[in-house]
Chain A
Amino acid sequence: MAARDSVAEDMASKELVIERVFDAPRERVFDLFTQAEHLQKWWGPKGVSMPVAEFDARPGGKIFIAERSAGGAMNYIAGAVREIERPSRVVFGIHFTDADRRRVAPPAGSGLPGNWTEELVSDITFSSEGRRTRVTIRTLSGFTAEWGKLARLGWGESLDKLDQVIASLSER
Protein backbone atom coordinates (compact mmCIF):
# COMPACT_ATOMS: atom_id res chain seq x y z
CA MET A 1 0.00 0.00 0.00
CA ALA A 2 2.04 2.90 -1.29
CA ALA A 3 -0.35 5.58 -0.05
CA ARG A 4 -0.25 4.23 3.46
CA ASP A 5 3.55 4.10 3.46
CA SER A 6 3.83 7.68 2.35
CA VAL A 7 1.45 8.80 5.10
CA ALA A 8 3.48 6.88 7.68
CA GLU A 9 6.72 8.28 6.30
CA ASP A 10 5.43 11.82 6.35
CA MET A 11 4.14 11.49 9.87
CA ALA A 12 7.51 10.21 11.06
CA SER A 13 9.17 13.51 10.17
CA LYS A 14 6.83 15.50 12.36
CA GLU A 15 8.59 18.76 12.97
CA LEU A 16 9.28 22.18 11.60
CA VAL A 17 12.86 22.64 10.35
CA ILE A 18 14.39 26.08 9.90
CA GLU A 19 17.95 26.61 8.64
CA ARG A 20 20.20 29.65 8.37
CA VAL A 21 23.91 30.18 7.67
CA PHE A 22 25.68 32.87 9.69
CA ASP A 23 28.97 34.51 8.79
CA ALA A 24 30.73 33.68 12.08
CA PRO A 25 32.50 30.72 13.68
CA ARG A 26 30.48 28.04 15.44
CA GLU A 27 31.56 28.95 19.00
CA ARG A 28 30.43 32.52 18.55
CA VAL A 29 27.02 31.64 17.11
CA PHE A 30 26.49 29.01 19.81
CA ASP A 31 27.23 31.60 22.50
CA LEU A 32 24.73 34.04 21.03
CA PHE A 33 22.06 31.34 21.44
CA THR A 34 23.02 30.30 24.96
CA GLN A 35 24.11 33.45 26.85
CA ALA A 36 21.46 35.66 28.39
CA GLU A 37 23.14 39.00 27.65
CA HIS A 38 23.20 38.08 23.94
CA LEU A 39 19.70 36.54 23.83
CA GLN A 40 18.36 39.76 25.32
CA LYS A 41 19.55 41.58 22.19
CA TRP A 42 17.86 39.50 19.50
CA TRP A 43 15.28 37.02 20.83
CA GLY A 44 12.28 39.29 21.36
CA PRO A 45 10.06 40.79 18.68
CA LYS A 46 11.36 43.92 16.97
CA GLY A 47 10.85 47.02 19.08
CA VAL A 48 10.32 45.00 22.24
CA SER A 49 12.81 45.43 25.05
CA MET A 50 13.70 42.46 27.20
CA PRO A 51 14.19 43.61 30.78
CA VAL A 52 15.01 40.11 32.03
CA ALA A 53 16.69 37.14 30.40
CA GLU A 54 18.15 34.15 32.18
CA PHE A 55 19.75 31.21 30.45
CA ASP A 56 21.56 28.73 32.67
CA ALA A 57 23.58 26.90 30.03
CA ARG A 58 23.76 23.40 31.55
CA PRO A 59 21.50 20.36 31.37
CA GLY A 60 18.43 21.12 33.52
CA GLY A 61 19.41 24.82 33.68
CA LYS A 62 16.53 27.28 33.94
CA ILE A 63 15.44 29.69 31.22
CA PHE A 64 13.36 32.78 31.97
CA ILE A 65 12.56 35.63 29.62
CA ALA A 66 10.41 38.68 30.39
CA GLU A 67 9.34 40.62 27.32
CA ARG A 68 7.77 44.05 27.47
CA SER A 69 5.58 44.81 24.49
CA ALA A 70 5.56 48.25 22.86
CA GLY A 71 2.25 48.87 24.70
CA GLY A 72 3.84 48.02 28.05
CA ALA A 73 2.22 44.61 28.62
CA MET A 74 4.50 41.88 29.91
CA ASN A 75 4.89 38.35 28.55
CA TYR A 76 6.86 35.77 30.50
CA ILE A 77 8.48 32.66 29.08
CA ALA A 78 10.07 29.99 31.25
CA GLY A 79 11.61 26.63 30.60
CA ALA A 80 14.69 24.50 30.92
CA VAL A 81 17.72 23.38 28.98
CA ARG A 82 17.37 19.70 28.11
CA GLU A 83 20.67 19.01 26.39
CA ILE A 84 23.65 21.22 25.73
CA GLU A 85 27.01 20.55 24.10
CA ARG A 86 29.13 23.56 23.14
CA PRO A 87 29.49 24.34 20.28
CA SER A 88 27.37 21.78 18.43
CA ARG A 89 23.90 21.44 19.98
CA VAL A 90 21.37 22.83 22.44
CA VAL A 91 17.85 21.54 23.17
CA PHE A 92 15.41 23.49 25.33
CA GLY A 93 11.70 23.54 26.13
CA ILE A 94 9.74 26.70 26.99
CA HIS A 95 6.19 27.71 27.96
CA PHE A 96 4.32 30.86 29.00
CA THR A 97 4.10 31.85 32.68
CA ASP A 98 3.01 34.73 34.92
CA ALA A 99 5.51 36.99 36.70
CA ASP A 100 5.87 34.32 39.42
CA ARG A 101 6.81 31.73 36.82
CA ARG A 102 3.59 29.75 37.16
CA ARG A 103 2.44 28.21 33.90
CA VAL A 104 -0.35 30.11 32.15
CA ALA A 105 -2.26 29.72 28.89
CA PRO A 106 -0.54 31.32 25.91
CA PRO A 107 -1.48 35.03 25.90
CA ALA A 108 -3.58 36.54 23.13
CA GLY A 109 -1.29 37.76 20.39
CA SER A 110 1.22 34.96 20.97
CA GLY A 111 -0.23 33.18 17.96
CA LEU A 112 -0.71 30.03 20.01
CA PRO A 113 -4.09 28.42 20.69
CA GLY A 114 -5.44 29.28 24.15
CA ASN A 115 -5.47 25.65 25.26
CA TRP A 116 -1.94 24.87 24.09
CA THR A 117 -0.32 22.98 26.99
CA GLU A 118 2.74 21.38 25.45
CA GLU A 119 6.29 22.62 25.87
CA LEU A 120 7.61 24.37 22.80
CA VAL A 121 10.75 22.33 22.29
CA SER A 122 13.56 23.58 20.07
CA ASP A 123 16.46 21.35 19.07
CA ILE A 124 19.21 23.54 17.65
CA THR A 125 22.38 22.23 15.97
CA PHE A 126 25.41 24.22 14.84
CA SER A 127 27.69 22.93 12.08
CA SER A 128 30.78 24.52 10.55
CA GLU A 129 30.85 25.37 6.85
CA GLY A 130 34.30 26.81 6.35
CA ARG A 131 34.33 30.05 8.37
CA ARG A 132 30.56 30.10 8.50
CA THR A 133 28.05 28.30 10.70
CA ARG A 134 24.87 26.55 9.67
CA VAL A 135 22.17 26.67 12.35
CA THR A 136 19.37 24.09 12.10
CA ILE A 137 16.34 24.56 14.34
CA ARG A 138 13.93 21.68 14.73
CA THR A 139 10.80 22.64 16.57
CA LEU A 140 7.11 21.85 17.04
CA SER A 141 7.88 18.17 17.22
CA GLY A 142 4.51 16.67 17.99
CA PHE A 143 1.20 16.59 16.33
CA THR A 144 1.11 20.17 15.08
CA ALA A 145 3.49 19.76 12.19
CA GLU A 146 2.31 16.17 11.76
CA TRP A 147 -1.21 17.32 11.08
CA GLY A 148 -0.11 20.13 8.86
CA LYS A 149 1.48 17.50 6.67
CA LEU A 150 -1.57 15.30 6.78
CA ALA A 151 -3.60 18.29 5.64
CA ARG A 152 -1.45 18.62 2.54
CA LEU A 153 -1.73 14.90 1.90
CA GLY A 154 -5.49 14.98 2.34
CA TRP A 155 -5.72 17.80 -0.17
CA GLY A 156 -3.46 16.09 -2.66
CA GLU A 157 -5.57 12.97 -2.56
CA SER A 158 -8.89 14.67 -2.92
CA LEU A 159 -8.93 17.39 -5.54
CA ASP A 160 -12.71 17.59 -5.40
CA LYS A 161 -12.50 18.53 -1.76
CA LEU A 162 -9.77 21.07 -2.52
CA ASP A 163 -12.08 22.77 -5.00
CA GLN A 164 -14.86 22.87 -2.43
CA VAL A 165 -12.59 24.34 0.22
CA ILE A 166 -11.32 27.03 -2.14
CA ALA A 167 -14.89 27.84 -3.11
CA SER A 168 -15.99 28.11 0.52
CA LEU A 169 -13.01 30.32 1.35
CA SER A 170 -13.62 32.73 -1.51
CA GLU A 171 -17.27 33.11 -0.47
CA ARG A 172 -16.18 34.82 2.74
Chain B
Amino acid sequence: MAVDRLSLTFGALADPTRRAILARLAKGGASVTELAEPFDMSLPAVSKHLKVLERAGLVARGREAQWRPAVLEARPLKEIDEWVGRYRVIWEQRLDRLDDYLKELHEKERRHGRKG
Protein backbone atom coordinates (compact mmCIF):
# COMPACT_ATOMS: atom_id res chain seq x y z
CA MET B 1 0.00 0.00 0.00
CA ALA B 2 1.33 3.43 -0.92
CA VAL B 3 1.96 5.66 2.06
CA ASP B 4 0.37 8.64 0.24
CA ARG B 5 -2.86 6.74 0.06
CA LEU B 6 -2.70 6.04 3.77
CA SER B 7 -1.92 9.73 4.43
CA LEU B 8 -5.02 10.69 2.46
CA THR B 9 -7.12 8.31 4.56
CA PHE B 10 -5.68 9.65 7.81
CA GLY B 11 -6.21 13.22 6.64
CA ALA B 12 -9.87 12.51 5.93
CA LEU B 13 -10.29 10.77 9.30
CA ALA B 14 -8.65 13.60 11.24
CA ASP B 15 -11.95 15.50 11.43
CA PRO B 16 -14.50 14.37 14.06
CA THR B 17 -17.50 15.30 11.90
CA ARG B 18 -16.20 13.14 9.07
CA ARG B 19 -15.63 10.28 11.50
CA ALA B 20 -19.22 10.66 12.71
CA ILE B 21 -20.46 10.65 9.10
CA LEU B 22 -18.59 7.39 8.50
CA ALA B 23 -19.98 5.88 11.70
CA ARG B 24 -23.46 6.71 10.43
CA LEU B 25 -22.69 5.20 7.01
CA ALA B 26 -21.41 1.99 8.65
CA LYS B 27 -25.09 1.34 9.41
CA GLY B 28 -26.15 1.83 5.78
CA GLY B 29 -26.19 4.32 2.92
CA ALA B 30 -27.69 7.78 3.49
CA SER B 31 -28.53 10.93 1.56
CA VAL B 32 -26.88 14.29 2.23
CA THR B 33 -30.10 15.47 3.90
CA GLU B 34 -30.15 12.44 6.23
CA LEU B 35 -26.49 12.96 7.07
CA ALA B 36 -26.97 16.66 7.82
CA GLU B 37 -29.78 16.06 10.33
CA PRO B 38 -27.86 15.00 13.47
CA PHE B 39 -25.08 17.55 12.93
CA ASP B 40 -27.03 20.77 12.70
CA MET B 41 -25.04 21.57 9.57
CA SER B 42 -25.94 23.09 6.21
CA LEU B 43 -26.24 20.76 3.22
CA PRO B 44 -23.26 22.42 1.44
CA ALA B 45 -21.11 21.89 4.56
CA VAL B 46 -22.02 18.18 4.64
CA SER B 47 -21.38 17.91 0.88
CA LYS B 48 -17.93 19.38 1.41
CA HIS B 49 -17.08 16.74 4.05
CA LEU B 50 -18.42 14.03 1.75
CA LYS B 51 -16.13 15.23 -1.06
CA VAL B 52 -13.09 14.87 1.22
CA LEU B 53 -14.22 11.36 2.18
CA GLU B 54 -14.81 10.51 -1.48
CA ARG B 55 -11.33 11.70 -2.47
CA ALA B 56 -9.88 9.43 0.23
CA GLY B 57 -11.90 6.53 -1.20
CA LEU B 58 -13.81 6.13 2.06
CA VAL B 59 -17.19 6.96 0.56
CA ALA B 60 -18.80 6.23 -2.78
CA ARG B 61 -21.82 8.12 -4.13
CA GLY B 62 -24.58 6.18 -5.83
CA ARG B 63 -25.38 7.31 -9.36
CA GLU B 64 -28.58 5.37 -9.88
CA ALA B 65 -30.79 7.38 -7.56
CA GLN B 66 -31.64 11.07 -7.89
CA TRP B 67 -30.58 11.69 -4.28
CA ARG B 68 -27.22 9.95 -4.76
CA PRO B 69 -26.92 8.08 -1.45
CA ALA B 70 -23.46 7.97 0.10
CA VAL B 71 -22.14 4.53 1.04
CA LEU B 72 -19.14 3.47 3.10
CA GLU B 73 -16.19 1.98 1.24
CA ALA B 74 -14.46 -0.49 3.55
CA ARG B 75 -11.13 -0.88 1.78
CA PRO B 76 -9.16 2.14 3.06
CA LEU B 77 -10.34 1.28 6.58
CA LYS B 78 -9.13 -2.25 6.03
CA GLU B 79 -5.74 -0.81 5.03
CA ILE B 80 -5.57 1.05 8.32
CA ASP B 81 -6.47 -2.19 10.05
CA GLU B 82 -3.52 -3.83 8.29
CA TRP B 83 -1.29 -0.96 9.35
CA VAL B 84 -2.33 -1.51 12.97
CA GLY B 85 -1.41 -5.17 12.44
CA ARG B 86 2.06 -4.17 11.26
CA TYR B 87 2.50 -1.93 14.30
CA ARG B 88 1.58 -4.91 16.47
CA VAL B 89 4.29 -6.94 14.74
CA ILE B 90 6.89 -4.24 15.52
CA TRP B 91 6.01 -4.56 19.22
CA GLU B 92 5.91 -8.38 19.14
CA GLN B 93 9.42 -8.45 17.63
CA ARG B 94 10.60 -5.93 20.20
CA LEU B 95 9.30 -8.20 23.00
CA ASP B 96 11.07 -11.19 21.39
CA ARG B 97 14.33 -9.26 21.64
CA LEU B 98 13.57 -8.32 25.25
CA ASP B 99 13.02 -12.00 26.04
CA ASP B 100 16.39 -12.90 24.46
CA TYR B 101 18.10 -10.09 26.34
CA LEU B 102 16.53 -11.21 29.62
CA LYS B 103 17.87 -14.74 29.08
CA GLU B 104 21.33 -13.31 28.35
CA LEU B 105 21.25 -11.40 31.63
CA HIS B 106 20.18 -14.54 33.52
CA GLU B 107 23.00 -16.48 31.94
CA LYS B 108 25.58 -13.79 32.73
CA GLU B 109 24.48 -13.70 36.37
CA ARG B 110 24.52 -17.44 36.62
CA ARG B 111 28.12 -17.50 35.37
CA HIS B 112 29.08 -14.92 37.97
CA GLY B 113 27.84 -17.31 40.65
CA ARG B 114 24.77 -15.27 41.64
CA LYS B 115 22.52 -18.26 41.30
CA GLY B 116 18.84 -17.40 41.69
What's the count of A-B pairs with C-beta under 8 Å?
110
Contact B74 A154 (CB under 8 A): yes
Chain A interface residue count, CB cutoff 8 Å, equals: 47
- Asked whether, in the complex, the Cβ of B87 is within 8 Å of the Cβ of A139, the reply is yes
Q: Is B114 an interface residue (CB 8 A)?
A: no
- Shortest CB-to-CB span from A4 to chain B, Å, is 7
Interface centre among A32, A115, A116 (most CB of B within 10 A): A115
Decide yes or no whether A16 CB sits under 8 A from chain B.
yes
**In the complex the two chains form, is A148's CB within 8 Å of B97's CB?**
no
Q: From known contacts A139-B91, A150-B22, infer whether A22 and B102 are also in contact, taking CB-CB under 8 Å.
A: yes
| Cβ B26 vs Cβ A153 within 8 A | yes
Main secondary structure of the interface of A (DSSP, over half): helix
A148 & B86 in contact (Cβ 8 Å cutoff): no
When chains A and B are docked, how far (Å) is the Cα of A145 from the Cα of B92? Answer: 17
Which of B81, B92, B97: most chain A Cβ within 10 A? B81
Q: Which residue of chain A has its CB nearest to the CB of B103?
A: A23
Is B98 an interface position by the 8 A CB rule? yes
Whether the pair B100, A42 counts as a contact (CB closer than 8 A) is yes
- Chain A hits for B36, CB < 8 A: none
Beta-carbon contacts of A32-63 to B below 8 Å, as 1s and 0s?
A: 10000010011101100000000000000000
Please tell me if the beta carbons of A150 and B6 are within 8 angstroms of each other in the complex. Answer: no
**A116 and B80 alpha carbons, distance in the complex (Å):** 13
Does A102 reach chain B (CB closer than 8 Å)? Answer: no
Whether the Cβ atoms of B3 and A108 lie closer than 8 Å is: yes
Say how far B75's CB is from chain A's closest CB, in angstroms.
Answer: 5
Residues of A within 8 A of B13 (CB): 143, 147
Question: Do B97 and A4 have beta carbons less than 8 Å apart?
Answer: no
